[in-house]
Amino acid sequence: MAHDAVKHDYHLVDPSPWPLVGSIAAFLMTLGLVSYLKGFVPVDPADGLAPAELLFGKGQPWVAIFGFAGVLYTMFGWWRDIINEAHDGYSHTPTVRLGLRYGMVMFIMSEIMFFVAWFWIFFEMALFHGVRLDQAWSVWPPEGIKLLDPFHLPLLNTLILLLSGTTVTWSHHALQKGDRKSAIWGLVLTIVLGLIFTGVQAYEYHHIFHDNLFYENEAVKLFGSAFIMATGFHGFHVIVGTIFLIVCLVRLMKGHFTPERHFGFEAAAWYWHFVDVVWLFLFAFIYVIFGGGH
C-alpha cells in the first residue's frame, strides 16, 4: 500500500523478522543456561567431547552464548528499525507517539512492581524477625552481617544519582528550547555520573562480599539474597539506563531529536528518574532504616 493512501493515524508495522529471530534466540539462551547448569547429556572428558557433549553437556556455555548474542543482535536490529521509523515522516503520528508514551508508562509501572517484590520480602524479614524460633533471627540485621556505613559510599552514590537527575533534566529542557549544545553536555554529564555510580557500587560490593559469608545460616542467606537482589537489580537498571542515554547522545549528536519530536530522549529521561527514585527508597529503607544504619 502506498504511504499516501493511508487514511488513519495508526502505524501498521511492516513485516519484520525480529519477533521470530528474537524468540529463537531467547529459546536458545534459556536452553543453553539450563544445559550449562544441569546438562542434558553426560560429559566424559577422558574420551574427548563429542558434538552433543560440547553443546549440551553440563558446564558447556556455547549454546547460551550463541543465544545471548542472538538476543543482542535482535535488540540492535529491532530498535534500529524503530529509530528509522521515527524519521520516515509518516510512521510516528501524534496518535502513535501518545501510544508510545502510554507504553513507556506501563513499562515503568511494571518495573516498580518488580522492585516492590524485593522491598516486600525485606520488610517482612526486618519487621517480623522477632517472632521466628530460630535464634539467628533474634536480632536484625542477623548476626554475622557486616554492611558498610550507609552514610559513606551509599550516601555518596545517592548524591551522584540525584545530581545525575538534575543534569538529565537540564539536558531535556535545553533540547526543548533548541539549545542542542547544552543538551549534549547535560547528557554527557549524566552518562559520566551513571558510570561513576556503577563503579562505586562495584567497589562497595567488593567489600561487602569480602566481609560477609552469606551462607552461614538461613537468616544470613535470606538477608543476603534480598539485599543483593534489590541493590544488584537496581545496579543493572543503572547500566541499562546508561546505555539508553548513550544511544540518545549518539542520536542527539546526529541531529535526530528536535524540540517538538524527541520521545526517545524523553523515555530515557523518565527511565533515569525512575532509577533515581528507586535508589532513594533503597537507601532510606534497606541501607538506613532496616539495614543496620540506624
Domain chopping of the chain, boundaries? 1-91, 93-294
CA distance 5 to 7: 6
pLDDT at 40: 78
Q: Name which of 17-26, 52-61, 115-124 the model is least confident about.
A: 52-61
* CATH class in words for 1-91: mainly alpha
Tell me the average pLDDT across 269-285.
94
- Written out in words, the top-level CATH class of the domain with range 93-294 is mainly alpha
Please report the pLDDT score of residue 176 as a whole number. Answer: 92
CA proximity to 22, closest of 64, 67, 88: 67
What percent of the chain has a predicted confidence (pLDDT) above 70?
Answer: 86
Average pLDDT over residues 21-41: 91
Largest Cα span, the chain = 74
pLDDT value at 245 more than 90: yes
Question: What's the mean pLDDT in 225-253?
Answer: 92
pTM of the model as a whole: 0.84
| pLDDT band (50, 70, 90) for residue 49 | low
pLDDT given at position 161: 95
12-21, 47-56, 227-236: least confidently modelled range? 47-56
Q: Which three cell numbers stand for residue 278?
A: 528507586
Tally the residues of the chain: 294
The pLDDT tens digits of the residues spanning 177-230 come to: 989 999 999 999 999 999 999 999 999 888 887 766 556 667 777 888 888 889
pLDDT at 45: 66
Which range is least confidently modeled, 123-127, 129-133, 245-249? 129-133
Q: What is the pLDDT of residue 64?
A: 93
Q: Residue 40: phi, psi to the nearest 5?
A: -100, -25
Q: Which residue has the higher pLDDT, 286 or 185?
A: 185
Are the C-beta atoms of residues 235 and 201 closer than 8 Å to each other?
A: yes
Report residue 128's pLDDT band, with 50, 70 and 90 as the boundaries.
confident
